[in-house]
Amino acid sequence: MPELRRDYRDRLTDLEDDLIAMGNRVLEMLAEAMTALGNHDQQRAAAVIRADDRIDAAYQRIQEGVLTTIALHAPVASELRLLSAFMHANIHLERMGDLCVNIGKFVALVEDFSDDPELMAQLQEMGQHARRVIGRSLEALARRDLELVHTLPELDEPLDQLNKGLFKRLVRLAAADETRLDWAMRMVLVARYLERLGDHAVDIGEQVIFAVTGESVELASNSPVA
């Protein structure tokens, strides 16, 4: 029995290490995607798109690892909640990777970027906020820190506000100049993707609460559906 428990603890540690490493790769992808967007850098954008293969592989490995651990060790109570939190956090991180890829694809698709430094600065600000809330959610998960979790909605709020402001600005730009419509709509989606990254990070925080307390708490009303 002690040997079995040691194997179980090792599996949990490996799963958590893989999950945090996956989160750090998402942060790297986001940083690269925003750099690519700001500089219209096709090579960086292509690298972001390629990096998604590693995220998908990590996702599959973690999902299988969680299911195998449940099957072999039949965890109960707090142990089962933690494994459930790992599984849900894994799903959110995989979707975050997809959102970074979507931003990278826009860099590749949009040949004629509009020269709007103020708007690009706002998008970059959103990227910084997104990295901050994602990083905080990973820290909260690693530490099982409920105090950190409850700071996530406040960190996420600027993303929501910037997204709303950018949407209004881009609608006005598109209405004033039809030649910028395609570009404006793509930038609306970039802002939306950044806002959704924050939502996914907040949802990881909710999983930390569940793992620690067993309570299902909704920290924000705009939780992502995809």
In this prediction, residues 5-31 reach a mean pLDDT of 93
Q: What is the CATH number of the domain that holds 145?
A: 1.20.58.220
Within a domain: 224:
no
Which of these ranges, 24-28, 32-36, 112-116, has the smallest mean pLDDT? 112-116
Within a domain: 18:
yes
Within a domain: 220:
no
User: What is the torsional sign of CA 110, 162, 135, 64?
Assistant: negative
- pLDDT band at 114, cuts 50/70/90? low
Number of domains, the chain: 1
- pLDDT band at 225, cuts 50/70/90? very low
Rounded to whole angstroms, how far apart are CA atoms 94 and 59? 6
* Structure confidence at residue 220 (pLDDT): 67
Within a domain: 146:
yes
Provide the 10 A C-beta neighbour count for residue 60. 12
Q: What is the pLDDT of residues 139-185, one digit of tens each?
A: 999 999 999 999 999 999 999 999 999 988 888 877 878 777 888 88
> Between 221 and 14, where is the model more confident?
14
Within a domain: 222:
no
Within a domain: 225:
no
Rounded to whole angstroms, how far apart are CA atoms 90 and 94? 6
* Structure confidence at residue 47 (pLDDT): 96
* Structure confidence at residue 110 (pLDDT): 67
Within a domain: 219:
no
- Could you list the residue range(s) of the whole structural domain that residue 104 is in? 2-213
